Amino acid sequence: MKTVGLVILVGISIATIILVLIQSPAASANHVVNNIVKYNGENDFLVKLSQYRNLTVTIDRYNISAFVADTDDKRTKGLSGVENMSENQGMLFIFNYPSKQGFWMKEMMFPLDIIWLDSNNSVIHIEKKLQPCASVLFCTVYSPSTDAKYVLETISGFTDLHSVNKGDKIKINSN
């Protein structure tokens, strides 16, 4: 009798584990969907308003409305799950201290330009027209050769369109 009870308990435990594993992605997806507000404007830009503050970033007199990722959780999520964004939108990652910050395009839904800035807001590295990863197994990590304090993600082609180059200064306005 104890053996049967143990087998049933083990069977239930394995079924529970399998059920949890099967439901986890859906639960995560639902959690993300519930924390996203969809804007219907020029582009459908999904933003996690309850989690991100907004700053204006100015590049040669052109303003970008940037959502700020300034905690580990926000930096990890980044723009994952966002369908698209317009030319005047972006995400600014602010790190506690300068280091060689690596970025990848995992779970991205559109291509990006990524701009790394040092503590003086000078552009130290640019990666252009990065495509979303086809698979986590083949997902390139992009990083600068020198330390960065800030990283700005923009739409693909932004750096060419606005002639952003290494050494340029970018203004981060405190709103």
For residue 80, what is the domain's CATH number?
2.60.120.1140
Is the per-residue pLDDT at 153 higher than 90? yes
Alpha-carbon span 108 to 3, nearest angstrom: 49
What does residue 2 show for φ and ψ, rounded to 5 degrees?
-65, -35
- Same domain, yes or no: 1 and 64: no
> Which structural domain range is residue 2 located in?
1-34
Report the predicted TM-score, pTM, of the whole model to 2 decimal places: 0.72
**pLDDT tens digits along 101-133:** 999 998 888 999 999 999 999 999 999 999 999
- Same domain, yes or no: 28 and 48: no
- Count the domains in the chain: 2
- Same domain, yes or no: 146 and 122: yes
- Same domain, yes or no: 55 and 140: yes
Q: Could you tell me which of 7, 88, 84 has the C-alpha nearest to residue 43?
A: 84
